[in-house]
Homo-oligomer: A and B are copies of this chain.
Amino acid sequence: MSDRGRDALAALGRLLDGPGLLHEPEDLAPYLNEPRGRFHGRALAVARPESTEQLAAIVRCCSEHELAMVPQGGRTGLVGGASPINGELIISLERMRRLRSIDPIDTSLVVEAGMPLARVRQIAAEHGLRYPVSLASEGTATIGGTLATNAGGNLTIRYGNTRAQVLGLEAVLPDGRVFSELSPLRKDNSGYDLKQLLIGSEGTLGIITAACLRLAPAPRQGVTAMLATHSLDQGLALLRQLRAELGETLSACEFMPRLALDFVLADQPRARDPFDRVHPWYLVVQVESALAGDWLKPALLNVLESALQGGRIDDAVLAESEQAALDFWALREGISRAQARGGVSLKHDISVPVPRIPDFMQAVLSELERAVPGIRPCVFGHLGDGNLHFNLSQPEGLSGEDFRAREADCNRIVFDQVHAVGGSIAAEHGVGQLRREELARGQARKLELMARVKSALDPAGLMNPGKLMPVRP
């Protein structure tokens, strides 16, 4: 440990009690874990503040000692955004998880950054409301982490991403001052909307400590259906009809290929194929309304009948119970885990303009097949919002090691096409360390603007260095 590190640690020790500051290796270990085991940096220590004021004091102390900081939520991120690199101070928000207030007239609540996403959803549900961001990792992922990464999920087509839920924000800025705009205002045009910069900035501009979030009414009617199609063009034609005829009630429109279903059926002993025949593609569609009534199911049936007759789908099954709906969703949500059965998987979290999905898929997949014959695409995700989890399983007959050696080539093929159609190389997981170089390669002009904003708010570069942007020399 450097002298500067030792001095900083001593100063932090004066601000925090025992459980507030961890520095023994065995105490640090859990904070260095991340889901895919790709990032192996080291940290000076872990600070665990209990309040915004305490965090502000920590940040001022780091600023004085020129000690870099890495904010941490639930550590469910997949791009290394919450992992330290080279001796930073990890700042975990896990002890700041209070509900500060909830207002049923305004349908909004104020929660601290360390509260798990699932808990926010549960509190909302207890008030007949819904916090409409839902992720596979919601039991562990924290609100602060979902804000810092502008998390997406399955309900984006209806409710937007995390950004769309944020009415107000509290954060500690790099100089230790508190940015406090927690009001639930729906209309406020008094100057630049600076909270928008903090949302999605992956901790590089400040540390989010609390947020005022809007809540939606909870659904009182809902139907989930699993559909079979033979092409993504068909899927888009169906999406168009769903949007036109079921309007505001369309909550999700997900897609998966047969290969993904095969993986999940092999992985989950109790899972079963909803159809008698094998189909190339499957969609999970969910419609919901906050109005009581019994008109939504017939309306969906109507659309599906016409889609069957019009050749936009090949088959359809409606979930006849809540359990059946959960079973459909388990097929979709089980893919990530089940895909390990296919050996090594090269994963890309990308988005493209929705109408271009079929052409994009065809172009990339044929190029990939030429580059790595037998490569097995397991591309699934959010048809309605264009977010493709562009995962590639190793060819049968090629070793995992040999396949991994082709990762850079495959990435280049995928990302070049993403740039060509005006897509995003980081749709819902963010950039972190994993896509930092690719962002700099593909969007140099944007990086230059980002660097100007970063310098304006964090001139010393102490906030989460090496994430989003290259480390400054």
Contact = CB atoms under 8 A, between A and B. Distances in A.
A239 B105 contact: yes
Interface stretch (A20-28, A135-143, A268-276, A447-455): A447-455
A355 B245 contact: no
Give how many copies assemble into the complex: 2
B240 A104 contact: yes
A39 to B, nearest CB: 18
Nearest 6 Cβ contacts at the A-B interface: A247-B290, A196-B196, A186-B385, A183-B422, A188-B424, A456-B456
Interface stretch (A67-75, A118-126, A159-167, A331-339): A159-167
Contacts of A196: 193, 196-197
Given A295-B295, A457-B452, A351 B188 contact: yes
Interface in A290-315: 290-293, 295, 299
Contacts of A236: 105
A445 B181 CA distance: 11
A80 interface: no
A33 interface: no
Nearest to A152: B187
A187 B163 contact: no
Contacts of A431: 189-191
Contacts of A386: 185-187
A428 B190 CA distance: 9
B160 A190 contact: no
A188 B427 contact: yes
7 contacts: A150-B189, A161-B186, A186-B386, A189-B431, A192-B453, A194-B450, A452-B456
A142 to B, nearest CB: 17
A295 B289 CA distance: 13
A355 B105 contact: yes
B385 A187 contact: yes
A439 B157 contact: no
A114 interface: no
A53 interface: no
B183 A428 contact: no
Interface string A3-16: 00000000000000
Interface in A345-387: 351-355, 382, 384-387
A156 interface: yes
Interface string A432-473: 000100010001011101101101110000000000110000
Nearest to A150: B189
Contacts of A186: 156-157, 160-161, 351, 354, 384-387
Interface in A216-237: 216-217, 220, 236
A464 B150 CA distance: 31
Contacts of A353: 103, 106, 183-185
A128 interface: yes
Contact of A422 (B182, B382, B428): B182
Contacts of A194: 446, 449-450, 453
Contacts of A387: 186-187
A223 to B, nearest CB: 13
A186 B456 CA distance: 28
